[in-house]
């Protein structure tokens, strides 16, 4: 799939939690976007050289629209939060490998999202729910359960919160233990401590886990080697056991990557 830069148009945007924004973009990239991929979004301020990588939350291929859900974390995302319908927005995509959805067919699946790692789970849920038994496990800081209603349309949704305000107090693995849940395969995205714990759980349970790594990126196209993860395989670009998350990932079989 060829990466390309294009000028898209904001279809609509709204805040859905503290510092979390939900934006639909009109773009032809929607026709080919896969669950687990991301786009790089450029700022209008040309003194800010690097685009911001933001995961794809949902696609509307028929109307050529992409949905991104992001947290305001700095100058670039603060600018994006001010965009309104009709504003133009430069993007590069689609980037990354995406989740291997074919491996979920006929299986019981855990979709596990934590914090701003929750958005990629929505398109993934849409893609696999017809042929899989989906159990959705979401981890939040507090009672601001963004996207939980969207996701609950595609499977049984369980919630954990750090402060105990909703669902199970604790993390996504506490949900599994408390409810006696099991699965044949895991797809996950979230902060590194969560992914480390999922990798350990998957190894002990002897089930495959595909994890999407959240990482700060520079170029987004594999040229700068600014986002690397140690892996069990030799990278053909650097010839060492490193992998460029922006191109070889962000999705990896958990046992193949050191985190």
Query: What is the CATH number for 180?
Result: 3.40.50.80
The verdict on 244 and 191 lying in the same domain is no
Domain count, the chain: 3
| Range(s) of the domain holding residue 228 | 215-259
The verdict on 25 and 76 lying in the same domain is yes
Domain boundary among 61, 80, 95: 95
CATH number of the domain within which 47 lies: 2.40.30.10
The verdict on 140 and 160 lying in the same domain is yes
The verdict on 34 and 56 lying in the same domain is yes
pLDDT for 237 equals: 61
Domain boundary among 37, 60, 95: 95
The verdict on 160 and 179 lying in the same domain is yes
Q: How confident is the model at residue 259 (pLDDT cuts 50, 70, 90)?
A: confident
The verdict on 76 and 166 lying in the same domain is no
Phi, psi dihedral angles at 175 (to 5 degrees): -60, -45
The verdict on 107 and 206 lying in the same domain is yes
**Count, residues in the chain:** 259
Which runs of E-coded beta strand occur in the chain?
4-17, 20-26, 38-41, 52-60, 65-71, 88-95, 108-114, 133-140, 156-161, 168-169, 185-190, 209-213, 228-231, 242-244, 251-253, 257-258
The verdict on 112 and 202 lying in the same domain is yes
The verdict on 243 and 255 lying in the same domain is yes
Lowest mean pLDDT among 128-132, 155-159, 210-214: 210-214
Rounded CA separation 255/225 (Å):
22
pLDDT for 254 equals: 92
CATH number of the domain within which 240 lies: 2.10.240
The verdict on 36 and 85 lying in the same domain is yes
Domain boundary among 95, 117, 146: 95
Lowest mean pLDDT among 47-51, 58-62, 215-219: 215-219
The verdict on 82 and 158 lying in the same domain is no
pLDDT digits (tens, 9 = 90+) for 94-127: 999 999 999 999 999 999 999 999 999 999 999 9
The verdict on 232 and 194 lying in the same domain is no
Of 211, 256, 246, 231, the C-alpha closest to 100 is 211
């Amino acid at each position: 799939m060829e990466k390309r830069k294009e000028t898209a148009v904001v279809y609509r945007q709204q805040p859905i939690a503290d510092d979390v924004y939900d934006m639909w973009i009109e773009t032809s990239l929607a026709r080919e976007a896969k669950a687990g991929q991301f786009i790089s979004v450029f700022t209008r301020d040309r003194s800010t050289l690097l685009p911001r990588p933001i995961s794809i939350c949902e696609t509307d291929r028929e109307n050529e629209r992409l949905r991104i859900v992001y947290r305001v974390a700095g100058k670039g995302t603060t600018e994006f939060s001010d965009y309104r319908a009709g504003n133009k927005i430069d993007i590069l995509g689609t980037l990354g490998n995406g989740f291997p959805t074919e491996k979920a067919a006929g299986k019981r699946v855990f979709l596990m999202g934590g914090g701003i790692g929750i958005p990629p789970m929505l398109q993934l849920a849409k893609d696999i729910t017809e042929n899989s038994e989906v159990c959705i496990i979401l981890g939040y800081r507090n009672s601001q359960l963004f996207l939980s209603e969207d996701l609950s349309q595609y499977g049984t949704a369980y919630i954990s919160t750090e402060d105990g305000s909703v669902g199970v107090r604790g993390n996504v693995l506490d949900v599994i233990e408390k409810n006696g849940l099991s699965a044949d395969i895991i797809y996950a995205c979230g902060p590194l401590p969560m992914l480390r714990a999922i990798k350990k759980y998957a190894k002990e349970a002897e089930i495959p886990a595909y994890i999407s790594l959240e990482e700060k990126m520079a170029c987004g196209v594999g040229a700068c080697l600014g986002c690397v993860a140690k892996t069990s395989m030799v990278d053909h670009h650097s010839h060492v056991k490193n992998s460029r998350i922006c191109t070889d990932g962000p999705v990896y079989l958990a046992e193949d990557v050191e985190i």
